[in-house]
Amino acid sequence: MFGRGDYAAPMSLQYKPFDCDNHYYEGRDAFTRHVPKEWQRRCVEWAEINGHQHHVVGGRVSHAVKNPTWDPIAKPGALRDWFRGNPGGGNPMKMLAEREPLPPEYIDRDARVEVLDAQGLESIWLFPTLGVLYEELLKNDGEAVQVLFRAFNRWLQQDWGCNHMDRIYAAPYISLADVDFAVEELEWALTNDARVVVMRPAAVFTADGPFSPSDPRFDPFWARVNEAGITVVIHAADSGYTSHGYAEDGFTGQFGGTYKGPSIKAFNIERAAYDWLITVMFQKLFERFPNVRIASVENGSGFLGDMFKKLDVQARRTPGWFQEHPGELFKRNVWINPFWEDDVAEVVDFMGADRVIFGSDWPHIEGMPQPLDYLADVQNFDAADQRLIMRENTVKLNERQPAGGN
């Protein structure tokens, strides 16, 4: 038993929600267990620096988080009030001051299932914490990217499973750095009953240089996704975005050290998702592969209004380029998980209630203290739309829908 008394599910729901954005904290050997020793220097190693443990990724010390051992750790949702606009004027560093020993449910799947029961959740999609950050640090060494993430996915299957008890659906990480490798990892994921795979929203760095993820050179991957009907998630990550000198570059936990105040760096996550999503529309990915389903998770939604305007402008400027209006095609093939501090009603206005999915980011500090705290943000929807957002949309995305199937 997890033995903690701070999980409580609301009693009013007649169904159990499906949370599309949960996270694990990687075990100490997640990036080394299956990496051959001769490759570890090019991939990930541990190093002690000034008495603290750090990951060295491709020969560079990673400062993505202050403590990659995770013990002790700040509590889920510690920064909730800050992200809600900081109504009390609190100091974010003080909000993170309270720490606790690493709970077993953050690293153990059976303990996590017990917590799901206590939280009132039916199922979760489960994503990395550090795993979505390290491709950027290795992007100029495509061989190391392949070795590391193949090994990482094998660790994932052993410790969490792509499908554990039809409750926890952990997403294998896919890099398109080599298209043949991507197809092989996708086949492995399908064989191991994965219902979702995850990649970072970023240009793809290959041996021939960077390319859009919807460049035709990657069509063998998208063709297999289309055929299998598995959902691809683009999840907030280190997408390599530059602040052009307006802020310090590099992905670091903004609150892992000294808080330096607001900067444009805070917008990089949404910038990356916007660029990824609008580019695949311009390059007509869904016209080539109409059965591909993309879920944008933890990338926010503030860009949607501007994106739909730009899609409309480009459709009018380039008559004949699109077989179907790209805005309508977007709403058919893409699902949006807003930041929980976003206006969910606004996202529904853009996308429709059947294309919005609930995610809590639990147990991260910027997520919700309890996943179903999210219910307060959908309380003004009618029961049918609320249920779509909280459960049914993700349930459908979690079901493979092979091309040509019923």
pLDDT tens digits, one per residue of 65-93 = 889 999 999 999 888 777 777 788 888 77
3 phi-psi bin (left φ>0, alpha ψ -120 to 50, beta other) = left
Residue 110: CB atoms within 10 Å: 12
3-state secondary structure of 124: strand
pLDDT digits (tens, 9 = 90+) for 26-48: 999 999 999 999 999 999 999 99
Closest CA to 252 of 98, 55, 102: 55
pLDDT of 253 > 60? The answer is no
Number of helical (H) and strand (E) elements in the chain, helices listed first: 14, 14
CA 122 to chain centre: 19
CA–CA separation, 114 vs 385, rounded Å? Answer: 28
Name residue 55's beta-bridge partners: 46
- DSSP label at 368? -
Across 148-167, b (16+ Cβ under 10 Å) vs e yields: bbbbbbbbbbebbbbbbeeb
Closest CA to 213 of 221, 223, 203: 203
Angle at 331 between CA 327 and CA 333, to 5 degrees: 115
Q: What does the block give as tokens for 342?
A: 């976003």
Report pLDDT digits (tens) over 149-185. Answer: 999 999 999 999 999 999 999 999 999 999 999 999 9
In order of 198, 256, 310, the CA distances from 225 in angstroms are: 12, 37, 27
CB contact at 8 A, 138 and 179: no
The closest of 125, 159, 129, 156 to 24, measured between CA atoms, is: 129
Rounded CA separation 18/124 (Å):
6
Distances (CA, A) of 8 to 75, 113, 118, 338, 370: 15, 14, 6, 24, 8
pTM above 0.85, yes or no: yes
Question: Count of alpha carbons within 13 Å of 394, Cβ hemisphere only?
Answer: 31
Q: Does position 255 have pLDDT exceeding 50, yes or no?
A: no
**Domains assigned to the chain:** 18-398 (3.20.20.140)
Instruction: Say what the pLDDT of residue 266 is.
Output: 86
Confidence at residue 2, expressed as pLDDT on a 0 to 100 scale: 38
Query: What percentage of residues in the chain have a pLDDT greater than 90?
Result: 83
Q: pLDDT tens digit string along 221-240?
A: 999 999 999 999 999 999 99
How far, in Å, CA of 227 to CA of 293, rounded? Answer: 11
